[in-house]
A and B are shown apart, each in its own frame.
Chain A
Amino acid sequence: NAGVTQTPKFRVLKTGQSMTLLCAQDMNHEYMYWYRQDPGMGLRLIHYSVGEGTTAKGEVPDGYNVSRLKKQNFLLGLESAAPSQTSVYFCASSTTPGLAGVGSYEQYFGPGTRLTVT
């Protein structure tokens, strides 16, 4: 049971390049999330998904797109990278809040992807 995995672990992009970050979970979770972590800012939610085929905007969605074609995968795309998108990106997953009981509010995190845009 690998939990939540993220690919790649590190990436350097030039301004204007595009890339896709992959998140995979093997816990059969319905909900998946993408966060970015910046010094002194905590974690901020970019996009999230409440199930296969659905996505929604979080707190800081601009410049990012996401897709959830399969339940176990959640992709984060940057179409035209900017230096302001230099950050550490975390994916997380959870069961459906309120459905499986109180334990379902816990989110499980991947190891992160460190992205630098020059």
Chain B
Amino acid sequence: AQSVTQLGSHVSVSEGALVLLRCNYSSSVPPYLFWYVQYPNQGLQLLLKYTTGATLVKGINGFEAEFKKSETSFHLTKPSAHMSDAAEYFCAVSDTGANSKLTFGKGITLSVRP
């Protein structure tokens, strides 16, 4: 069975500071990995995904994540936080077979201080 661990429920950074949101997963097969963002009162929007190939994945709004198989991690980073980045972020894992489904982490709320 797959699982996703997002440590902590809330991260606060200053505008312009580095954003680092951690995600660790467990999967019995090579996984596909996703980060979704949810702005207040909205649905989830895909930020980026890792399927195969390059382990450093770039997404929208300046975010990127690196798949590290040895550490079973897929941490999300952004060099310089912007006020508009304040949202909830979900890491998710999927296996690669037919009828595969997403397993979500519990989410991390990012606050950005002026």
Residues of A within 8 A of B (CB): 4, 33, 40-45, 48, 50, 58, 90, 92, 96-98, 102-103, 105-112
Would A58 and B34 count as touching, CB distance under 8 A?
Answer: no
Residues of B within 8 A of A (CB): 9, 32, 34, 36, 41-46, 49, 51-52, 90, 94, 96-102, 104-107
Residues of B within 8 A of A50 (CB): 99
Give the distance to chain A from B38, nearest Cβ to Cβ, in Å. 8
- A-B interface contact total, Cβ < 8 Å: 60
Given contacts A97-B96, A112-B42, 16 further A-B contacts (CB under 8 A): A40-B107, A41-B106, A42-B107, A58-B101, A97-B98, A97-B99, A98-B96, A98-B100, A102-B32, A105-B34, A105-B51, A106-B49, A108-B46, A109-B43, A109-B44, A109-B45
Give the distance to chain A from B22, nearest Cβ to Cβ, in Å. 15
Report the Cα distance A105→B49, complex, angstroms: 9
Would B104 and A43 count as touching, CB distance under 8 A?
Answer: yes
Q: If A40-B106, A42-B104, A42-B106 touch, does A98 touch B42 (CB 8 Å cutoff)?
A: no
Would A98 and B101 count as touching, CB distance under 8 A?
Answer: no
Report the Cα distance A50→B97, complex, angstroms: 13
Q: Which residue of B lies closest to A91 (CB)?
A: B43
Report the Cα distance A111→B44, complex, angstroms: 8
Would A106 and B106 count as touching, CB distance under 8 A?
Answer: no
Residues of B within 8 A of A58 (CB): 101
Give the distance to chain B from A3, nearest Cβ to Cβ, in Å. 9
Which 5 interchain pairs have the tightest Cβ spacing? A102-B51, A109-B43, A42-B106, A42-B104, A109-B44
Report the Cα distance A112→B49, complex, angstroms: 22
Report the Cα distance A106→B52, complex, angstroms: 14
Give the distance to chain B from A53, nearest Cβ to Cβ, in Å. 16
